[in-house]
Chain A
């Protein structure tokens, strides 16, 4: 095992190299300082950590399995593919890891009201869930377009008592939901904790969200050594804001032999407005509190994005990913809508696992590379389950909805 000195920690002001930082209106600056202090104190408090660990195991269902996808691997005839089953967590995705951590933190800070943004609705559902658990008021901002395409999750949030607010401006997706949540936070900052769901935003959010998801990579690191006696050759994770990916990557950053591969949403094409692949056409910019790669037009206006997957449909990538990218420690590629849908079908047919459309992007890249890499060990972070995407799968596989489906072989 080659372990090097490569680390990935922000400096004291929250910068990952030239990225990250704290680009917010002055109203939020002191509250962010307060949040950072509270977070650092909680991190160092064994009582806090013990309570979080207990909840992660007994409420959320950790550790999650590291599953060897034998049929998928054998069908492809190359690399051996393992799946980290974050999809099996309570509420259906990795998002619950961060929500439990931040809810405990909010309680510690005496904040009784929680706000959150959501794209695919998985972060919204996880937030609604922890708010019910801790008896906190919960308001979730969600783009009108995302409410339409992820309506099952809207209902789940409401069932758990959350107030889901429809955001009707801009692209009516995640970008505008974050803007609206920030406006709420600016207004109600004394009583409210903003439970940001991705490794985005102003410092300390990218650091804090990553740390709450580090458990994904830590478990994988230990488990793969136990099962295979060695580290994986390649790790795959989808990247919207980048929380599941950074949580998975972090434990392996010092292991230079392990390739870290992030997959962005390639959408319909790589023309601006048709995708959400920030490293394919984006440039450094500032949005929602941080500097990172941003899809923008020639005048510095944030571009519109598209992805079949609501959770990847966002204009800015988390700042730590931008830094890993520039230093060449992680590589990033994109996967089209069509390829993600096909990968989901393939996983469903070979393993009986229906992935979330977000995670299907990562599955695709592993499927694409596996045949050429026999003897290699792959791990795919299966960040969420596909139940929420049933409507989209139905739209895209209409033949399965027919009375006598003429099922195609995979």
Chain B
């Protein structure tokens, strides 16, 4: 299997001795036409990897900000084929790694093998399904592997040692560490559960580790960048899109700047 853009990115930031800035956006929010421009603005601001969220009707792992984004995107007619169109559009001008981020059912409906093939052809590099546990992952992982796509799984503060090993075993590209128990959304303070989770995960795997959930300010991103190989900012970016997408580039820049220190 050739290296994916995701794997190359983590190799690259390791050489630069820094942490990757990962931004989550809900594809199709506020409309499918706007998404490629939003991604371009984030990339100009210093974002290294895009998590492209496929909206789902019942996002049980998401807080109010991303729930609202999903509702807007669905109302604007966003579907899996349209998200693939957006990826193709982004690829015309950019080599930024793209991780598809969603829940299982829309993918299941589209067809696992078909999605893997079509996503690869559209320039997508990997996939994370929030509600697929490693126990249920076999058919999904097989489909993604066949298309040479990365599969990123979540590790959580509640995960036992046995589970952390399984998560590492099923993940390629990187492992996504959920910094606290809870849904996505901004928090005033960083969770105490993150540092011990990173330590435990380092003993289980050599894969790169990115942390997310509750990271929104440049200060928080800077603090997490000292511990993890990647920092995911979601709700703060989606909130900016909701408020005024023109502020995205400077928001990304302020996060990226702080992560270099």
Chain A residues engaging chain B, CB cutoff 8 angstroms: 13, 21-31, 33, 169-170, 175-176, 179, 182-183, 186-190, 283, 285-289, 294, 296, 298-302
Contact = CB atoms under 8 A, between A and B. Distances in A.
A31 B60 contact: no
A183 B154 contact: no
29 contacts: A22-B136, A24-B60, A24-B131, A25-B154, A25-B178, A26-B133, A26-B178, A27-B154, A27-B181, A27-B182, A28-B158, A29-B163, A30-B158, A30-B160, A169-B71, A170-B58, A175-B58, A176-B58, A182-B60, A183-B62, A186-B181, A187-B183, A188-B181, A285-B109, A286-B105, A299-B80, A299-B106, A300-B110, A301-B106
A186 B154 CA distance: 14
B104 interface: yes
6 A-B pairs with the lowest CB-CB distances in the bound complex, closest first: A300-B109, A300-B106, A27-B156, A26-B154, A301-B57, A187-B182
B61 interface: yes
Contacts of B57: 170, 301-302
Given A30-B160, A33-B160, A286-B131, 4 more contacts: A26-B178, A29-B163, A170-B58, A183-B61
B23 interface: no
A274 to B, nearest CB: 17
Given A13-B135, A26-B153, A296 B58 contact: no
Interface in B134-162: 135-136, 153-160
B9 interface: no
Contacts of B181: 27, 186-190
B90 to A, nearest CB: 21
B105 A294 contact: yes
Contacts of A30: 156, 158-160, 163
Given A29-B133, A299-B79, A300-B110, A179 B182 contact: no
Interface centre among A189, A286, A289, A299 (most CB of B within 10 A): A299
B67 interface: yes
A28 B109 CA distance: 24
B218 to A, nearest CB: 25
Contacts of A24: 60, 131, 133
Contacts of A283: 109
B215 to A, nearest CB: 16
Given A24-B133, A299-B80, A300-B110, A186 B182 contact: yes
A200 B231 CA distance: 35
Interface centre among B105, B106, B155, B167 (most CB of A within 10 A): B105
B130 interface: yes
Interface residues of B, number: 41
A299 B233 CA distance: 27
Interface in B56-89: 56-63, 67, 71, 74, 79-80
Contact of A31 (B59, B71, B154, B158): B158
B107 interface: yes
A331 to B, nearest CB: 26
Contact of A302 (B67, B105, B182): B105
Nearest to A187: B182
B204 interface: no
B64 to A, nearest CB: 9
Nearest to A189: B181
A186 B104 contact: no
A183 B167 contact: no
Interface in B106-143: 106-110, 130-133, 135-136
Contacts of B160: 30, 33
Contacts of A175: 58
A23 B183 contact: no
B135 to A, nearest CB: 6
Nearest to B130: A25
A13 to B, nearest CB: 6
B183 A186 contact: yes
Interface centre among B71, B103, B108 (most CB of A within 10 A): B108
Contacts of B135: 13, 21-22, 29
Nearest to B155: A26
A301 B58 CA distance: 8
A339 B182 CA distance: 43
A176 B70 CA distance: 14
Contacts of A300: 56, 80, 105-110
Contacts of B104: 23, 286
A285 B105 contact: yes
Contacts of B156: 25-27, 29-30
A170 B60 CA distance: 12
Nearest to B80: A299
B105 A26 contact: no
A90 B86 CA distance: 56
A169 B67 contact: yes
A286 B105 CA distance: 5
Contacts of B132: 23
Contacts of A26: 133, 153-156, 158-159, 163, 167, 178
A82 to B, nearest CB: 39
Contacts of A21: 135-136
A29 B133 CA distance: 8
B109 A296 contact: yes
B60 A29 contact: no
Nearest to B67: A169
